[in-house]
Structure 1
Amino acid sequence: MMNVTPTAILATTNATRKPCVDIEPSPVSDFLMAVYILAFVFGLTFNVLTLYPIYQQVKQQNVLGIFLLNLSISDLLFIFTMPLWINYYRRNHRWGLGVETCNVAGFFYYSNMYISMYLLCCISVDRCLVVCYPFRFKPHRTSRYAWVQCAVVYALVMITHIYILKNDELTNVHDNAHDSDRCYETYPMKHNVAMFNMIRVGLGFILPLLVLGVSYWKVLATVGKSPGLSASAKRKVRLLSYGVIGIFSVCFAPYHILLFVRSHVSFFNTVEVHCDFERKMHFPFSGTLALSSLNCVVDPVLYVLVSNGVRDELKFCCRSDEQKGTEDCRLTSGKKETSKESALI
């Protein structure tokens, strides 16, 4: 029989109780806080500035305007929870606001991420149908068509995340024994969570990326061969195409790549190997998550740059009362001339 000394028992107990990832105060936390502050300030400013012009496009039953309005609403819901994350990183990964508040903040964070991706998908498919099959799908491109798509996206994403919240283990994040009070930073990752994350990467990122790639590849091919479009219109279509794919590449791809790698390591390795990997990857992963928050900044900027309707409405709102009368006449008289090019963007 093996003899077990009290020292060995104590060592085993300490090893068992030692947290998988011990997050210590670090300058990286200040960097993450700075990213969220920038995202909050510029995201709130740009979305508020473009909200009314986008609403004006919705009143005109502009399909792109409806998609953009729903994208802005999703961004704003996330932006309003961002001070909670700023405070979290200011306190070196200590939440201190209770499990329910963590639930709400995480719900809007991840819901916004996937609502944004799927709405960008809807926009890309809509642009593809407008450019490649204008006569076949024009009768079906109604405001109801756009609202139904947005409602389906919101419903699917939110129902999924409500189900996740009901089955997660966020109470384990609040560990009094180790004086840690984290939010959505639970280690080690369990097998069922790792499996769900790999599925989430496939359905939430890779599938939308494929849809985007195919849609804009067809758009660019069709626009390039169209002799009836001006060079300016073609440039705007290319800008929109590259811009949306760029949002995916810069904001969403790094996070989902590291999420898949973390989940793969957790699913196919022991807890010891996984914890060692998590200690090395914790701050890079947190950085990619912070980077994903910047999509709420670039969304309104991108579409103001390329959308004639939103940009003209924004300029119109910024003019004085005397200038608005003249500008309104100019915009009205020019609508018929630019309707074909505006339909593309």
Structure 2
Amino acid sequence: MCNISFWTKKTKSELLLSYLFIPLSCLTYASLICVLSCLQVRQGNELGIYLINLSVADLLYITTLPLWIDYFLQHDDWIHGQESCKLFGFIFYTNIYVSIAFLCCISLDRYLAVAYPLRFAKVRQIKTGMRAVLVSAMVWIIEIIANSAPLFHDELFQDRFNHTFCFEKYPMQDWVAWMNLYRTFMGFLAPWTAMLVAYRGILAAVRCNVSTERQEKAKIQRLALSLILIVLICFGPYHILLLVRSIMFLKKPCDCSSEESLFAAYHVSIALTSLNCIADPILYCFVNEGARHDVGRALSALLSAACHKGSSSSPSHADMLNHIVCGLCKGEMHLKTQLFG
């Protein structure tokens, strides 16, 4: 085991702030997008199915954040046992690659809808949402199997200072290095490349479609580009450093100096992956002015209800909740008709 030097005070304070902020933000936004997605599914739009799966993955990840924060506060010293460490690693990796896969599904779905509207409409008429349900089930099955390795290996490692690392070994194990290469190319690079191809196809299809207004074309292009940027910003740094670490290990298996030089940056990149659960609902809810306005009104109504709680002159909680749902439904219908089709 390498004896890694831990955080500087500046790095630690910055990461601690992000780890404390992200769970609350993720929980709020993931819950909001779950409600919005359910409404969209009820309105017959299969994109809501992919978004529900994204929010489920985010909510599962949120359940691990308290242990992650504690691990960080303990200076990377895991005190919760072997089984919880395995589960933690499994959920972490599954969330990353499930999120990437469903963002890729949304990109491909939009490409097919824009490039082949007639064929795609016939497929959708077979049974609304069934295709998305089957695709979602396949994504979960594939990713659960592909990321189940931590469940069958010991993932706790001790250094000579009695720090117990969870899911981290410096230097890494040989099989882990090869698994990292597989994850980088198949779990990140392949779907991201597919999204780039879909984006190029969307641009070409929109450019050739003379019946679509310029404003509508811009909205479609903005959605496709946003999906690509979410994957790149949230998961790109992590996979770049994962690839670098793995290649360096395969060249020099016992080079502790390289591991130490990348330690802080690698952990910052891990923190960046958590931003995905904030970026997903922002992409969905605030993609155009109409959606931003209606969701904003709904949230304002929720705050108003909280501020006037207990007041006899204020509307009932049921009335206020109904106002919120109506606002969300209006935003959903506006978003659906203008952007998703």
Q: Indicate the TM-score class for this superposition, using the shorter chain for normalisation.
A: 0.7 to 0.9
Output aligned runs, 1:188-267, within 5 Å: 188-267=171-250
CA distance in structure 1 between the partners assigned to 2:150 and 2:64 by the alignment = 19
Does the CA-based 8 Å contact 1:20-1:188 persist in structure 2? Answer: yes
TM-score (norm 2): 0.84
Does the CA-based 8 Å contact 1:29-1:92 persist in structure 2? Answer: no
Output aligned runs, 1:114-125, within 5 Å: 114-125=97-108
CA distance in structure 1 between the partners assigned to 2:41 and 2:290 by the alignment = 10
Q: Which residue of 2 aligns with 1:20?
A: 2
Q: Does residue 277 of structure 1 match 2:258?
A: yes
Deviation at 1:276, TM superposition (A): 1.4
CA distance in structure 1 between the partners assigned to 2:65 and 2:117 by the alignment = 41
Does the CA-based 8 Å contact 1:54-1:65 persist in structure 2? Answer: yes
Q: Which residue of 2 aligns with 1:156?
A: 142
Q: Which residue of 2 aligns with 1:14?
A: none
Deviations 1:214-269 (A, max 9, x none): 00111122113322223332222122122111112211111111111110111122
Does the CA-based 8 Å contact 2:7-2:264 persist in structure 1? Answer: no
The 3-state SS of whatever aligns with 1:306 is coil
CA distance in structure 1 between the partners assigned to 2:335 and 2:3 by the alignment = 58
Question: For the structure 1 residues 254 and 203, does the alpha-carbon distance in structure 2 shift closer, same or farther, using more than 3 Å as the test?
Answer: same
CA distance in structure 2 between the partners assigned to 1:44 and 1:340 by the alignment = 28
Deviations 1:168-197 (A, max 9, x none): 3313x145x531112122111122221121
* Corresponding pairs, count: 317
- Structure 1 stretches of 5 or more lacking a match? 1-18
CA distance in structure 2 between the partners assigned to 1:204 and 1:291 by the alignment = 17
Question: For the structure 1 residues 109 and 309, does the alpha-carbon distance in structure 2 shift closer, same or farther, using more than 3 Å as the test?
Answer: farther
Give the partner amino acid of 1:188: P
The 3-state SS of whatever aligns with 1:182 is strand
Give the partner amino acid of 2:45: N
Q: Which residue of 2 aligns with 1:4?
A: none
Superposed CA RMSD in Å reads: 2.8
Q: Which residue of 1 aligns with 2:24?
A: 41
CA distance in structure 2 between the partners assigned to 1:47 and 1:236 by the alignment = 23
Q: Which residue of 1 aligns with 2:41?
A: 58
CA distance in structure 2 between the partners assigned to 1:202 and 1:25 by the alignment = 30
CA distance in structure 2 between the partners assigned to 1:311 and 1:93 by the alignment = 40
Deviation at 1:25, TM superposition (A): 5.2
Q: Which residue of 1 aligns with 2:155?
A: 170
CA distance in structure 1 between the partners assigned to 2:178 and 2:154 by the alignment = 16
Q: Which residue, 133, 136, 144 being the options, matches 2:130?
A: 144
CA distance in structure 2 between the partners assigned to 1:79 and 1:56 by the alignment = 23
Deviations 1:91-115 (A, max 9, x none): 2111211111111222111110000
Q: Which residue of 1 aligns with 2:308?
A: none
CA distance in structure 2 between the partners assigned to 1:339 and 1:183 by the alignment = 43
Q: Which residue of 2 aligns with 1:302?
A: 283
Deviation at 1:59, TM superposition (A): 1.6
- Structure 2 stretches of 5 or more lacking a match? 302-314
Does the CA-based 8 Å contact 2:111-2:198 persist in structure 1? Answer: yes
Question: For the structure 1 residues 203 and 102, does the alpha-carbon distance in structure 2 shift closer, same or farther, using more than 3 Å as the test?
Answer: same
CA distance in structure 1 between the partners assigned to 2:251 and 2:52 by the alignment = 42
Q: Which residue, 69, 79, 83 being the options, matches 1:86?
A: 69
Question: For the structure 1 residues 179 and 61, does the alpha-carbon distance in structure 2 shift closer, same or farther, using more than 3 Å as the test?
Answer: same
Deviations 1:150-172 (A, max 9, x none): 11111111122223421x3313x
Deviation at 1:314, TM superposition (A): 4.1
- Give aligned-pair identity as a percent: 34
CA distance in structure 1 between the partners assigned to 2:94 and 2:3 by the alignment = 26
Q: Which residue, 250, 267, 270 being the options, matches 1:289?
A: 270
Output aligned runs, 1:308-323, within 5 Å: 314=295, 321=319
CA distance in structure 1 between the partners assigned to 2:271 and 2:55 by the alignment = 19
Question: For the structure 1 residues 186 and 98, does the alpha-carbon distance in structure 2 shift closer, same or farther, using more than 3 Å as the test?
Answer: same
Deviation at 1:310, TM superposition (A): 7.0
Q: Which residue of 2 aligns with 1:343?
A: 340
CA distance in structure 2 between the partners assigned to 1:265 and 1:244 by the alignment = 31
Does the CA-based 8 Å contact 1:23-1:93 persist in structure 2? Answer: no
The 3-state SS of whatever aligns with 2:77 is coil
Does the CA-based 8 Å contact 1:50-1:314 persist in structure 2? Answer: no
CA distance in structure 2 between the partners assigned to 1:185 and 1:203 by the alignment = 22
CA distance in structure 2 between the partners assigned to 1:196 and 1:338 by the alignment = 40
Deviation at 1:84, TM superposition (A): 1.1
Query: Which one has a bigger Cα radius of gyration?
Result: 1
Does the CA-based 8 Å contact 2:219-2:339 persist in structure 1? Answer: no
Does the CA-based 8 Å contact 2:177-2:246 persist in structure 1? Answer: yes
Deviation at 1:38, TM superposition (A): 2.0
